[in-house]
Structure 1
Amino acid sequence: MNINQLKDAFDMAGQKVQDLEDKRAQFAIDLGNDASSHSVDDINKLNASLKNAKMAQELAKSAYEDARANLNAEPVNKKPLPVKDGKPDAQAMKNQFVKDFKNLVTSGTTGTGNAGLTIPEDIQLQIRTLTRSFTSLESLANVENVTTSHGSRVYEKLADITPLKDLDDESALIGDNDDPELTVVKYLIHRYAGITTVTNTLLKDTVDNIIQWLVNWAAKKDVVTRNAKILEVMGKAPKKPTISQFDNIKDLENNTLDPAIESTSSFITNQSGYNILSKVKDADGRYLMQPDVTSPDKYLIDGKPVIRIADKWLPDVSGSHPLYFGDLKQGITLFDRQQMQIDTTNVGAGSFEHDTTKLRFIDRFDVQLIDDGAFAAASFKTVANQAQGTAGTGK
């Protein structure tokens, strides 16, 4: 049995442990919501499986590390990184990461026994910066960085506030106020992964070129994945009217959300929908969308920003263009574990036969609906202009 087979066994064992730990976390969430959702027998079986999986992982790790030792592999992380003013040198960190990356591809090990490479913070920052150049829905939602695989948050719901009670008797009992309504939102970090095939000539490139290639590749994957999950949550908006005329847009704006939300709200549509809205006119022949005087390349509807998303990021649904109105930062939270990881092989998954390298990118996050009253969803195919002669009449 060669070292690559042992590494695969170690990876599979680690994956099994992670899957079972995720399942245990989900059990905990389920039981918190419903104490009868899982039987005692199911819980015992899961705990036993997790215990056995961890033992198998330790066994695989020992076998893998022994095999590496027998190969007299030279550790690549023994020398400390250069330090300037108490901080590691950024270029040295990049050099070390690329060196580990190349070693992982060519020998199946980084010299530390790690299964895969966790992307360094400075490179993750480059990825995050680049994602902003794409049309990322993440920028519209609230993002919270977390360090655990699961947890919960308490949020205050929008609730009607009633006036204080009128006590017409000096000795009357003072009752309780209507306290804010609170809701518990639980998150469970998921792993999102994909595999990309590259030629082995990549390994002959310079450090900066390899880093830039990884950053570009990871950023695109990251945006597409997170957009898809945010869109899933956006689709849970409770009100989904069909827009067919000018005044329907007014109804969406004025009569779907709490006025407290409206001040921070915006319209969101895709490129095709934006094109249609840009041509809609009111009863006086003025365009519904007006340029922002502070930024002429941006447009407003009744003073509210209109955000245009490319069709490929925000696609039509059954031939209808989406139109959202509200504040997604109050309605949606993305819980970001910030543990991007790259695993590679030049032997498995057909790499050996084609002289290529397979890179598996893993991202960890969860997206949850926080307040379904913070935004509303609508759709439209065409929008008729406002009827002439109705301007200022409210009709």
Structure 2
Amino acid sequence: MNLNQLKVAFDEAGKTVQNLQDKRANMILDLKGDVNSHSQEELIAVKNELAKATVVRDEAEAAYADARANQIAGMKEKEPLTPTEENMKNKFVSDFKDMMHGKVFNQVDSSMDGSGSDAGLTIPQDIQTAIHTLVRQYDSLQDYVNVESVGTATGSRVYEKWADITPLTELDDEGTKLADNDDPKLSVIKFTIKRYGGINTATNSLLKDTAENILAWLTSWIAKKVVVTRNTKILEVMGKLPKKPNITKWDDIIDLESSVDPAIKKTSIFMTNTAGFTALRKVKDAMGRYLMTPDVHNPEIYTIDGYRVVEISDKWLADNAGSHPLYFGDLKQAVTLFDREAMSLLSTNIGGGAFETDSTKVRVIDRFDVVATDQEAFVPGSFKTIADQKANLTTPTA
């Protein structure tokens, strides 16, 4: 079973526990108003069910943590490493140890990012691949945007919005001429790769450890830094998308859907934070049924009008002045992350407080840029509360 499956199992088990905790809390509130609203057997049944679900959740978390630790520490490949690959891995670890002892390695020059020269140890591609594999195990917004690898520090791309795309012209014969008004409405999107750095402290005992453990420490630390940094920059771009009016009723959510071009609705999703997700789950129709419903194929995935609702941690997608964010559309059409794929390491035993603490600091550099492409493809809304739907029944007159 792969890490993604274990992560889903852990998330689902956690939601089951949360649902049962909510159920128990509601029963207690019911009993406060009416001591006969629930029987003793019902209370015992919920208590036992919650206890079992809690054990399942804890075991799922442990299994996921163990699997991730094994993957990181063992650096297992689907196929055994070739002698050349094994030598490259060992050489990188050897070079890393040498760098930590003051040796200077390959020069990352101005041709890479236009920001001047900087001596450092370039992280090999296979190690970067392992890092990006770990990134996907965390709560990463990068999974929802378009990611394009680039080989230059600056560049541009030409985009055509879905709403502006025209159909192909029928050519009945070789002499047919395309109409002049078929010229597409194109937008030029420019990117400039920027450098983002983070520092960590390496102990002397780490440098005496095995190659696998050193790689595990490096990849885990860098992956967390990459997630935090890239999430922050993606959210900055999302925050600049044109805002829509506040949502106060369920019909406003339908209006939010209608603001996205029908051509990309099949690939569209709703996105909100945990606080917003919880609030949406509680909205009911006139018959007391929840309006956000589980997917028929996977009950742990919730949908609105058949569109998946993606829940992002409040830590990344925070409320604004008490309002929950609610997006709809295709974020891959709206935002592109240009990845330079040129991570590097640099160490010092003098700067960053290393001299005072007699330690060695390691700095990682990540190079990327995040830009908005089609601002009409992912529409932001917000809400504080959404009222339950009221019955709209009239009694026929005689």
Q: Same fold (TM over 0.5)?
A: yes
Task: Tell me the residue number matched to 2:190.
Answer: 186
- Tell me how large the CA RMSD over aligned residues is: 2.6
Give the alignment's TM-score, normalised by structure 1: 0.70
- How many aligned residue pairs are there? 298
Q: Name structure 1 gaps, 5 residues minimum.
A: 1-84, 165-172, 391-395
Please give the alpha-carbon distance, in whole angstroms, between the structure 2 residues aligned to 1:345 and 1:363. Answer: 18
| Residue of 121, 142, 145 corresponding to 1:141 | 145
| Pairs within 5 Å for 1:261-340 | 261-340=264-343
| Secondary structure in structure 2 of the residue aligned to 1:216 | helix
Larger displacement relative to structure 2 (198-207 or 334-343): 198-207
Q: Retained in 1: the 8 A contact 2:164–2:185?
A: no
Q: Which one of 70, 91, 102 corresponds to residue 97 of structure 2?
A: 102
What's 1:89 paired with? 84
8 Å CA contact 2:162–2:263 kept in 1: the answer is no
1:219 alignment partner AA: A
Which amino acid counterpart does residue 386 of structure 2 have in structure 1? V
Q: Which runs of 5+ in 2 are unaligned?
A: 1-79, 109-118, 169-176, 394-398
Q: Secondary structure at the match of 1:202?
A: helix
> Counterpart amino acid of 1:230?
I
Q: Which amino acid aligns with 2:251?
A: D
Match 2:226 to one of 222, 243, 246: 222
Distance 1:163 1:149, change over 3 A: closer
Aligned partner of 2:19 in structure 1 is none
* Alignment correspondent of 1:40: none
Offset at residue 98 of structure 1 (A): 1.1
Distance 1:86 1:215 in 2: 18
Specify the alignment match of 2:161 in structure 1. 157
Check conservation: 2:286, 2:388, Cα contact below 8 A.
Answer: yes
Shift of 1:209: 0.6
SS in 1 for 2:101: helix
Task: Map 1:1-395 onto structure 2 (within 5 A).
Answer: 89-110=84-105, 115-159=119-163, 176-254=180-258, 256-389=259-392
Paired AA for residue 287 in structure 2: D
Q: Normalised by the size of structure 2, how large is the TM-score?
A: 0.70
Change (3 A) 1:206 1:161: closer
Amino acid at match of 2:282: K
**How far 1:159 sits from its partner (Å)?**
3.9
State whether residues 155 and 190 of structure 2, in contact with CA within 8 Å, keep that contact through their aligned partners in structure 1.
yes
Residue 174 of structure 1, CA deviation? 9.8
SS in structure 1 of the partner of residue 86 of structure 2: helix
How far apart in 2 are the matches of 1:162 and 1:263? 19
Indicate the percent of aligned positions where both proteins have the same amino acid: 58
8 Å Cα contact 1:236-1:372 kept in structure 2: no
Deviation (angstroms), 1:86: 12
Q: Secondary structure at the match of 2:300?
A: strand
Give how far 1:175 is off: 5.9
Summarize the Cα distance change of 1:190–1:262 in structure 2 as closer, same or farther, 3 Å threshold: same
Q: 1:86 to 1:139 in 2, by over 3 A?
A: closer
Given residue 106 of structure 1, which amino acid in structure 2 is its aligned partner? H
* CA distance in structure 2 between the partners assigned to 1:310 and 1:264 by the alignment: 22
Partner of 1:77: none
The one-letter code matched in structure 2 to 1:131 is V
Counterpart-to-counterpart distance in 2, 1:220 and 1:208:
18
